[in-house]
Amino acid sequence: MYEGVRSPLIYTPRSIGEFSTIIARHSQAILWAGGTHLMSRSDYYPGEARDGIIDLSYMEELKRITRNDRYVEIGAMVTARQLLSAGRLLLPPILQDTLRSMGTQIVRRQVTIGGSLCISDERLSLSTTLAILASSAEVKRYDQGKVTTHWIPIAKLYDKDGRLNLGSKSALLTRIRIGLEFGDFQRFVVFGDPIRRSDECGIVALQAKREQNGLSEVQFCVTFPRKAFHISKDIESKLSGSALPIHPEKVNTLSHELVAELTKMHSTISDLQLERARRIFESFLHDLNSQSLF
């Protein structure tokens, strides 16, 4: 079976320096992190990888987790399982929930942070949560022998449909940085099955700071894999500064505004997905209200 299928060359850089040399020669090579997404595509095998595969698993620099007083830095090749077990004390609770939602332990052993963020056309839970945590990613761009390093907010790595844009054909996401100052109200919900039925699924995340009787620094993101990656600045600004509890009428208005915004910007989201996202958003606000009563 599969006679005539060419076996792609595998490059195994041990450092970022070695990676630079390889990517300069093989700019079309596939970058391989955990491989869970690449291998779940129906056209994966037998398939063409003409310029070879660069296996990133030998690069120790990409497997580090470091922390100081202000932020945590996580290497792109750290797996979801490693991060979950190493980061119980240093990660925000919403990120722990997100990592747990990424699949069973067997799958989490393989899923890498960088790989999950760099899926070209599908946004899943990690991108959504990191976007509301205002985290950023270090991206190295390789253009005609030149290497430039940029820190890009995760929210700006993707377009409105959730497609990845690293700014260059040859680029490597090396690590992410998450600030340790986060809101005291965090909610994250995934509906549907993002792995088996991504067309029907959605991810909603919200973070806010409660100060006296009001809200501040509200961050909200809703994602529909392959359809939309939506950060609503309008709703965030309307919620920031709102007094708690939020009037039920305002909750209702805001949730319908969200649906209107999503419908206007992304025509492919189904009615069921919209309704589920709206109700989850409403439940977050009702939850905020109920907590403000104590």
Partner 1 sequence: MKIECNIDGKALSLSVNSNKPLSLILMEDLGNQSLTSYCRGNACGNCIVMVNDEAALSCLIPAFRIRGAKIRTFESYQRSRQYRDIERAYKATGTKPCPACYNARTLIIESILQDQSGAKQQNGAPAAKDVKLDKEKIIRELSLNTCQCMDMAELIQIVEIALGYRNRRRRVRRS
Which residues bind to partner 1, rule: CB under 8 A?
A: 1-2, 5-10, 32, 35-36, 39-42, 44-47, 49, 53, 55, 57, 103-107, 109-110, 195-196
Residue written as tokens 């750290």?
78
3-state secondary structure of 74: strand
- Cα separation, 71 vs 90, whole angstroms: 9
How close are the terminal C-alpha atoms of the chain, in Å?
67
Nearer Cβ to partner 1, position 110 or 168?
110
**Least distance (Å) from partner 1 to the CB of residue 42?**
6
How many Å apart are CA 243 and CA 208, to the nearest integer?
Answer: 13
Residue closer to partner 1, measured from CB, 12 or 20: 12
Q: How far is the CB of 273 from partner 1 (least distance, A)?
A: 21
Q: How far is the CB of 41 from partner 1 (least distance, A)?
A: 7
Torsion angles phi and psi, residue 263, rounded to 5: -65, -40
In the complex, least distance from residue 38 CB atom to partner 1, rounded to whole angstroms: 9
Taking the least distance from each CB to partner 1, the nearer of 47 and 179 is 47
Cβ contact 87:108 at 8 Å: no
* CB of 293 vs partner 1, minimal distance in Å: 28
Q: Please name which of 242, 235, 234, 186 lies closest in space to residue 216, comparing C-alpha atoms.
A: 242
| Of 97 and 138, CB closest to partner 1 | 97
Q: How far is CA 156 from CA 103, 129, 177, in A?
A: 25, 13, 14
**Residue number with CB closer to partner 1 (110 or 216):** 110
**Could you tell me the two tokens for 249?**
């009428």
